[in-house]
Chains A and B, each alone.
Chain A
Amino acid sequence: MSRKTLAYLLLLAAGLAAPFFVYPVLVMKVLCFALFACAFNLLLGYTGLLSFGHAAFFGTGAYVAGYAIKGWGLPTELGLLAGTAAAAILGWAFGSLAIRRTGIYFAMVTLALAQMVYFIFLQAPFTGGEDGLQGVPRGTLLGLVDLSRDINLYYFVLAIFAFGFWLIYRTIHSPFGQILKAIRENEPRAISLGYDVAKYKLLAFVISATLSGLAGATKMLVFKFATLTDAHWHSSGEVVLMTILGGMGTVFGPVVGSSVIITLQNELADKVGSLVTVIMGSIFVICVLLFRRGIVGEIIALYRRMVGQKG
């Protein structure tokens, strides 16, 4: 067994044991945002596209799943699928528009489109406006496992996260992922090598949006409601922050970043009130100015330096 496999098995064991040591709902929240950030990282870290509108997919996943379960009475797993599918379709629509521009314009276009989604959720009749969509039942998994117990739901959420993480890992390490990296490093060159760059970018965008929707739907299930906060541009910024803080373009960076941010928010929320935004903003500024590689990126760089010195 290679060292890498061992490390993943250890992490999985830690994930399985976590609810016995930490409040499960908090860990579930971390897992949902970790999946969100990993999906986002596929786009920012591996394709070099900065989307400032990923909250739209997260929010759509949450709202559609919530409405499918509460309004249409779909079983839980189908509700999650509906939310994910809605995010995928939205991702395809927004992706086709946004990839027409690059760089800063790409960021502005995604932000503006996401703001449109926010206004739609604010005004649409089924979303409950400012109150959000509340009281969504968790239901049962395949009619067998009662998900209203936190511990059962926890393992379901862990499985969803593991699946999403595996999918992203496979994508990054596939030939397709290599082409994405080539686009990130040098787009004109990728074009000149004969790759249909627009198609690859769009596919990466759709995968990222789909998994963001899955993360949003899962988060809705954990908290039993979907709110406007999920679709607000602050959430888009938050996922950028998690990814950068953890280390963009690293497999584990987003997981670390989201754990730090969610724990921090959880600890600080009742102590400093609205100053949380100031702290988040300051972390943002410090990250951009001082350590752009992020936590995991710095660790990797340090490790390489040490190994390099020995050799």
Chain B
Amino acid sequence: MGQLMLGLVNGSFYAVLSLGLAVIFGMLNIINFAHGALYMMGAFLAWMGLEYLGIGYWQALVLAPLTVGVFGIVIERTMLQWLYKLDHLYGLLLTFGLALVIEGLFTNGYGVSGQPYSIPAELSGGFNLGFMFLPHYRGWVILASLAVCFGTWFGIEKTRLGAYLRAATENPKLTQAFGINVPLMVMLTYGFGAALAGFAGVLAAPVIQVSPLMGSHLIITVFAVVVIGGMGSILGSILTGLGLGVIEGITNLLYPAASATVVFVIMAIVLLVRPAGLFGKEQ
């Protein structure tokens, strides 16, 4: 049961990150390789805030994603926006370079060993559910991630702004002709996606040691999750993320040696059976 819970926690991170990737992909048509680095930045900002400025977990949960989001907007304005007319692969390459730069800078400053970040006092301890012990913090991670995922889904599918967003994804030129500022929406989308990564980073900080390499390990798995789920639907990426986290947890229980590779094996099977991904549309 503990492993299953841990799987759900990991799955929540997969869900939030692949959701961010999907949102960015929908609007900008690029795969954000820097997503892992932004996630790491979120965690590091939380740690640095506590270490140098005495900013607590709850403030960090708001401030760190905001900072990462602004950082994302700067990236979009200064670099990414010049690439939209080119092959999508250039966006991937650019963000790969950015990921190397961000990761290298943090490695240079703090080394590769992890920094501990303690669980906030309000969330230490746990419930005894009778059949298992549930640490409060793990429950909180799952709930907070689900809330954010649901909020994003609601925002995109049910609000006016979300309708503009979907229209701009479908046909940017026509949407612009209706007087909607599409470049602004693109900028905000990238910022929002980056902020989502930063938020996941802060959530992860007390669970995982904060280290400059934490993002790159995770992002490749998230890529596999995205390939499995397909980026067509938002609910799809959330469900795939959670589901794969649970599968990873179960594998860790039954056959620990395979837990690192199980997601990739599933990806290979999905590619054989349904190349477009579970929730993807055939081109």
A-to-B contact residues, CB < 8 Å = 50, 52, 97-98, 100-101, 103-105, 107-109, 111-113, 115-116, 119-120, 122-123, 233, 237, 240, 244, 273-285, 287-289, 292
SS class, residues of chain A in contact with chain B: helix
B153 at the interface (CB under 8 A from A): no
B-to-A contact residues, CB < 8 Å = 25, 30-31, 79, 82-83, 86, 88-90, 92-94, 96-105, 107-108, 216, 220-221, 223-224, 226-227, 257, 260-261, 263-265, 267-268, 271-272, 275
| Given A111-B223, A288-B94, A281 and B264 contact (CB-CB distance below 8 Å) | no
Which A residues touch B260, using CB under 8 A?
119, 122-123
Q: A97, A112, A122, A292: which has the most chain B beta carbons within 10 Å?
A: A112
CA distance A240 to B99 in the complex (A): 15
Q: Which of A113, A122, A278 contacts B104 (CB 8 A)?
A: A278
Q: B88, B227, B257, B264: which has the most chain A beta carbons within 10 Å?
A: B264
Tell me if B100 and A278 are in contact (CB < 8 A). yes
Q: Which of B93, B220, B271 contacts A111 (CB 8 A)?
A: B220
Which B residues touch A103, using CB under 8 A?
88-89
Residue of B whose beta carbon sits closest to that of A49: B89
Tell me if A120 and B261 are in contact (CB < 8 A). yes
Which A residues touch B97, using CB under 8 A?
280-285, 287-288
CA distance A285 to B260 in the complex (A): 31
CA distance A244 to B93 in the complex (A): 10
Q: Which of A101, A119, A289 contacts B94 (CB 8 A)?
A: A289
Residue of B whose beta carbon sits closest to that of A283: B97
SS class, residues of chain B in contact with chain A: helix
CA distance A278 to B103 in the complex (A): 8
Smallest CB–CB gap between A270 and chain B, Å?
15
Q: Which of A119, A244, A275, A289 contacts B261 (CB 8 A)?
A: A119
Residue of A whose beta carbon sits closest to that of B108: A274
Which A residues touch B104, using CB under 8 A?
274-281
Tell me if A105 and B227 are in contact (CB < 8 A). yes
Smallest CB–CB gap between B93 and chain A, Å?
5
Q: A109-B271, A287-B97 are in contact. List 15 more A-B contacts (CB 8 A).
A: A101-B275, A107-B92, A108-B223, A113-B268, A240-B93, A274-B107, A276-B104, A278-B108, A281-B100, A281-B101, A281-B102, A284-B93, A284-B97, A289-B94, A292-B90
Residue of B whose beta carbon sits closest to that of A279: B104
Tell me if B89 and A104 are in contact (CB < 8 A). yes
CA distance A283 to B108 in the complex (A): 18
Tell me if A107 and B31 are in contact (CB < 8 A). yes
| Given A101-B275, A278-B101, A288-B83, A237 and B264 contact (CB-CB distance below 8 Å) | no
* 25 contacts across the A-B interface (CB closer than 8 A): A50-B92, A97-B271, A100-B271, A101-B271, A107-B31, A108-B227, A109-B227, A109-B267, A109-B271, A112-B227, A119-B261, A119-B264, A122-B260, A273-B108, A274-B107, A274-B108, A277-B103, A278-B101, A284-B93, A285-B97, A287-B97, A288-B90, A288-B93, A289-B83, A292-B90
